[in-house]
A and B are shown apart, each in its own frame.
Chain A
Amino acid sequence: MTDASAVPAVVQLSNVSKYYGNICALSDINLTVRRGEVTCILGDNGAGKSTLIKIISGMHPHDAGVVRVHGKDIHFASPREALDFGIATVYQDLALVPLMSVWRNFFLGSEITTGMWPFRRLDVERMRRVADEELKNLGIDLPDIDAPIAQLSGGEMQVVAIARAIHFGAQVLILDEPTAALGVKQSGVVLKYIAAARDAGLGVIFISHNPHHAYLVGDHFAVLNLGRMELDAKRAELSIEQLVRHMAGGAELQALEHEMHR
């Protein structure tokens, strides 16, 4: 593990809050994401994980506090703006269009074109080739790049989404529950690619409610509970048991343990 504080922060949140009507979804969140690190955000359902990544990824603006990207104060108006700052998000639903082919999905929104207007057209051959190469670089060899993406397995779709983000120059990769719907083996595959992305120098934000998956790849852990930051610790300061305990709400779990004791 490198000395984390030496690496400059890519994304920095200071006292960020978000309200939906009179409901406070997040309050006073401080978080630092560095390059070459996996920052895990853990928490139960409704803890505010999704709200937090929606702010960083530009889906929803924050209501209070400061979000800095590369040291600059920002207020994203759309995911496109966040992308332009190098922040790419792989959502739970993967932001893939099921009936479209693998290569069309790979380049969706950032298509390569050739020729002059009005004859500007998609550079189909190049896009198919690049998509195939990028996927092979991450170690998946798809039988057919023209097949609708719905025909791939859940893990393969995750990897397509990750490869896409890396190809388009993501410096920060946000992964929303990438292992939630996967079996053990497929989860392992995805975790391997998360580690690969980190080693490639990306700042990875890994949202999960599975502390065991998080602990396998995480360098830095933030636990949310009811919109508040309950824990913010480096890997060295934390054991897996402590993490599990925090995740379940620490004291609450102890009470539950006591209650359920047989």
Chain B
Amino acid sequence: MTSQLASQRVARRSSLRIFLMRPEVGSLIGALIVVVFFSVMAPSIRHPGSVSTVLYQSSTLGIMAVGVALLMIGGEFDLSAGVAVITSALAASMFAYQLGTNVWVGVGFALLVSLAIGAFNGWLLVRTGLPSFLVTLGTFLMLQGANLAVTRLVTGNVATNDISNMAGFNSARSIFASTFNVGGTDVSVSILWWLALVALGTWILLRTRVGNWIFAVGGNARSARAVGVPIVQTKVGLFMAVGLCAWISGMHQLFEYNTVQSGGGVGLELEYIVAAVVGGCLLTGGYGSVIGAAIGALIFGVVSQGVVYADWNPDWFKFFLGAMLLLATLVNMLVRHQVNRKQPA
């Protein structure tokens, strides 16, 4: 009896089991399904140009999904993330235009604004102890209103003025919104930003102290505090990371289109959350992966472009998305249930 127990106890988990433990499994299966599905239904999606477009679509969402996923693993939401992107773009554009400065000054100002919004969200959360759903719902509505009101106040219009003739525009554009050629196909620099952020986010999460703290504050904040994890700094820092992503995303939009529509961004915050959840992030925190969120964003890109290439009514896009969300979360749940069962003692 005892020897049998002992041999069970030292049994190693198989590598399949270790693979299935990864949070990304559900999204990986989902991504395979949509890629195969649309490759068959819309063969033109396999052309290099289409692949580049799909990746570009994925990156516009994926950049924000990095910050949102980290925040979700840390146990919080940010409903203001969608409009905060627009706020950042508006801030850069209007600051530079109205003061007639070099565009880069506006870009720097926007970075401060974005980080300040993140810090405000985080500070409000830890000071009041309210759920982040409520806190960021408040800032979401405030930013949505302020975007429109301030833009109208400053420009007398609902969009900002074209800044493409201003000093520094070209260099800023080449950083945030240029394209480069890979084997005859134009590829957006936005994809590089996305990949770099995913790599950075993954490294922070899995290989730094801060990453350990993010898992801990999301998994059990009381325990984390008891062993000396700086909870307040971690949470505020996470909201500021979302701010940083919003800045990168906002700068891309600004230099891609030269002007900003002040009413944009509404509803995108939910798409970021969908990408993170499809990617295996637990809605309640403490579990998840940045790579998963990137795969979630990729599913988004494939579906949104796949519907176009298959020549379907684009109305079906949201339907597919909802189905993917349910499917991926169900797979995640089932897999975790199977793998996390206590081993027979």
Q: Which residues of A contact B (CB under 8 A)?
A: 59, 78-80, 83, 89, 91, 93-100, 104, 107-111, 113, 120-122, 124, 141, 143-144, 146-148, 150-151, 153
The 3 nearest A-B residue pairs measured at CB: A109-B227, A97-B219, A109-B228
- The residue of chain A having its C-beta at the shortest distance from the C-beta of B203 within the complex is A121
Known contacts A104-B212, A108-B216, A93 near B342 by CB under 8 Å? no
Q: Indicate whether B2 reaches chain A with its CB closer than 8 angstroms.
A: no
Residues of the B chain whose Cβ atoms lie less than 8 Å from the Cβ of A141 = 9-10
Known contacts A97-B223, A98-B219, A144-B13, A108 near B207 by CB under 8 Å? no
Q: Indicate whether B16 reaches chain A with its CB closer than 8 angstroms.
A: no
When chains A and B are docked, how far (Å) is the Cα of A104 from the Cα of B219? 12
B207 near A97: Cβ-Cβ < 8 Å: no
A147 near B226: Cβ-Cβ < 8 Å: no
The dominant DSSP class at the A interface is: loop
Minimal beta-carbon separation of B180 from chain A (angstroms): 27
B228 near A120: Cβ-Cβ < 8 Å: no
| A147 contact from B13, B213, B345, Cβ within 8 A | B13
B227 near A99: Cβ-Cβ < 8 Å: no
When chains A and B are docked, how far (Å) is the Cα of A108 from the Cα of B11? 26
B212, B224, B226, B345 pick with most chain A CB within 10 angstroms: B226
Residues of the B chain whose Cβ atoms lie less than 8 Å from the Cβ of A59 = 226
B205-246 to A contact mask, C-beta < 8 Å, 1/0: 001110111011001101111111100000000000000000
A122 near B207: Cβ-Cβ < 8 Å: yes
B180-217 to A contact mask, C-beta < 8 Å, 1/0: 00000000000000000000000100011101110110
Q: Indicate whether B4 reaches chain A with its CB closer than 8 angstroms.
A: no
- The residue of chain A having its C-beta at the shortest distance from the C-beta of B225 within the complex is A79
Q: Indicate whether B12 reaches chain A with its CB closer than 8 angstroms.
A: yes
B228 near A124: Cβ-Cβ < 8 Å: no
B209 near A93: Cβ-Cβ < 8 Å: no
Residues of the B chain whose Cβ atoms lie less than 8 Å from the Cβ of A78 = 225, 228
Minimal beta-carbon separation of A243 from chain B (angstroms): 30
Q: Indicate whether B287 reaches chain A with its CB closer than 8 angstroms.
A: yes
B343 near A89: Cβ-Cβ < 8 Å: no
Minimal beta-carbon separation of A186 from chain B (angstroms): 11
When chains A and B are docked, how far (Å) is the Cα of A83 from the Cα of B286? 24
B10, B225, B228, B340 pick with most chain A CB within 10 angstroms: B228
| B228 contact from A104, A110, A121, Cβ within 8 A | A110
B208 near A121: Cβ-Cβ < 8 Å: yes
Minimal beta-carbon separation of A85 from chain B (angstroms): 12
Known contacts A120-B208, A121-B208, A97 near B220 by CB under 8 Å? yes
A-contacting residues, B24-77, CB 8 Å: none
Interface size on B, residues (CB 8 A): 32
Residues of the A chain whose Cβ atoms lie less than 8 Å from the Cβ of B225 = 78-79
- The residue of chain A having its C-beta at the shortest distance from the C-beta of B18 within the complex is A146
B9 near A97: Cβ-Cβ < 8 Å: no
| A150 contact from B216, B223, B224, B340, Cβ within 8 A | B340
A80 near B340: Cβ-Cβ < 8 Å: no
Known contacts A99-B219, A124-B207, A153-B345, A110 near B227 by CB under 8 Å? yes
| B287 contact from A80, A99, A151, Cβ within 8 A | A99
A148 near B223: Cβ-Cβ < 8 Å: no
Known contacts A104-B215, A147-B13, A96 near B207 by CB under 8 Å? no
B320-345 to A contact mask, C-beta < 8 Å, 1/0: 00000000000000000000101101
When chains A and B are docked, how far (Å) is the Cα of A48 from the Cα of B12? 45
A109 near B224: Cβ-Cβ < 8 Å: yes
Known contacts A99-B215, A111-B212, A143-B11, A151 near B343 by CB under 8 Å? yes
Minimal beta-carbon separation of A125 from chain B (angstroms): 12
Minimal beta-carbon separation of B123 from chain A (angstroms): 19
- A-B contacts besides A108-B227, A113-B208, A151-B340, 16 pairs, CB < 8 Å: A80-B228, A91-B223, A93-B222, A95-B227, A97-B216, A99-B215, A100-B212, A100-B216, A104-B212, A108-B223, A109-B213, A110-B228, A121-B203, A141-B10, A143-B11, A151-B343
Residues of the B chain whose Cβ atoms lie less than 8 Å from the Cβ of A109 = 213, 216, 224, 227-229
9 pairs from A and B in contact (CB 8 Å cutoff): A80-B228, A89-B226, A96-B220, A104-B212, A109-B228, A110-B228, A120-B208, A122-B208, A150-B340
A121 near B223: Cβ-Cβ < 8 Å: no
Known contacts A95-B227, A97-B219, A104-B212, A144 near B286 by CB under 8 Å? no
When chains A and B are docked, how far (Å) is the Cα of A122 from the Cα of B214? 14
When chains A and B are docked, how far (Å) is the Cα of A233 from the Cα of B324? 66
When chains A and B are docked, how far (Å) is the Cα of A192 from the Cα of B211? 35
- The residue of chain B having its C-beta at the shortest distance from the C-beta of A93 within the complex is B223
A-contacting residues, B250-307, CB 8 Å: 282, 286-287
When chains A and B are docked, how far (Å) is the Cα of A91 from the Cα of B220? 13
| B224 contact from A97, A111, A124, A148, Cβ within 8 A | A97
Residues of the B chain whose Cβ atoms lie less than 8 Å from the Cβ of A94 = 223
B209 near A122: Cβ-Cβ < 8 Å: yes
When chains A and B are docked, how far (Å) is the Cα of A99 from the Cα of B209? 17
When chains A and B are docked, how far (Å) is the Cα of A91 from the Cα of B223? 9
Residues of the B chain whose Cβ atoms lie less than 8 Å from the Cβ of A121 = 203, 207-208
